[in-house]
Amino acid sequence: MSRPTAHEVLAAVLQIRDGHLQVLAWQRAREPDAGRWALPGGRLRDDEDVEASVRRQLAEKVDVREIAHVEQLAVFSDPDRVPGPRTVATAFFGLVPSDADPALPADTAWHRLADLPPTAFDHALIVRDARERLRAKLSYTNLGFALAPHEFTISELRALYVGALGHPVSATNLQRVLTRRGLLQPTGAIAPPGPSGGRPAGRFRFTDRSLRVTDAFAVLRPPGEVARSAVP
């Protein structure tokens, strides 16, 4: 009754580079959509689930050890989303810390989201969803850890948040809020001052490098709890 339906995975891997949010893409050499930029991914194999599949396929483009966070985004299943056999895609979103600069194949490059070249198929939708997910989760999780190096100064962290959110962020409040919620720790180390001098900045790290959600509505959390629960 049905023609064969393939299943693929795709990943929008984001990183703050040069203060701007960028996405990893490769340029298609063959039709359809030759010359356009596509997200890493490919067909789901019989012996792997979608998480394993996206990690395997990302490994073909970058050193997966550089990827600090990967999560499911959504399913894209429009019957005509790609030409040829019907293909349902599970989209993922990944984050690479700003200090990583993984080696890339010749056809692969980073592109600013604000200045994206022509993209293949419906991949621009996936990139848009990934950006929205990132912006939302920065607000109620510790997801900043996946954008930041292991150690950083508050100024550096602020620059990452500005790049990801696209609007000014107060360094004082950022530090206070993250500290109060127990997400941030001073390392004791001191960063060397910049070229134009200035007081040397203290270095910090995130206490957790796995996703944690913080509170929203205080009313709606169990009474007496501090509301800081881990997420699998």
Partner DNA sequence: GCACGTTTACGACTCATAGTCGAAAACAGA
Partner DNA sequence: TCTGTTTTCGACTATGAGTCGTAAACGTGC
HEC-encoded secondary structure of the chain: CCCCEEEEEEEEEEEEECCEEEEEEEECCCCCCCCCEECCEEECCCCCCHHHHHHHHHCCCCCHHHCCEEEEEEEECCCCCCCCCEEEEEEEEEEECCCCCCCCCCCEEEEEHHHCCCECCCHHHHHHHHHHHHHHHHHHECHHHHCCCCCEEHHHHHHHHHHHHCCCCCHHHHHHHHHHCCCEEEEEEECCCECCECCCCEEEEECCCCCEECCCCCCCCCCCCCCCEECC
210 binds a copy of itself per the rule CB under 8 A: no
Which positions from 155 through 184 interact with DNA, judged by CB under 7 A? 155, 170-173, 176-177, 180
207 interface partner picked from a copy of itself, DNA, none, CB below 5 to 8 A per type: none
2 binds a copy of itself per the rule CB under 8 A: yes
What is the x/- site pattern for DNA, positions 116-155, by CB under 7 A?
A: -------------------------------------xxx
Single out the segment in contact with a copy of itself by CB under 8 A; choices: 30-38, 40-48, 59-67, 100-108: 40-48
189 binds DNA per the rule CB under 7 A: no
78 binds a copy of itself per the rule CB under 8 A: yes
Cα separation, 175 vs 159, in Å, equals 13
Between 59 and 136, CB nearer to DNA:
136
168 binds a copy of itself per the rule CB under 8 A: yes
Between 67 and 164, CB nearer to a copy of itself:
164
Residues sharing a CB contact under 8 Å with residue 221, sequence separation 6 or more, in sequence order? 215, 227
Between 84 and 195, CB nearer to a copy of itself:
84
Binding stretches for DNA (CB under 7 A): 153-155, 170-173, 176-177, 180, 190, 193-202, 217-219, 221, 223
Binding stretches for a copy of itself (CB under 8 A): 2-7, 43-51, 72, 74-75, 77-79, 86, 88, 90, 136, 138-140, 161, 165, 167-170, 173-174, 177, 213-223
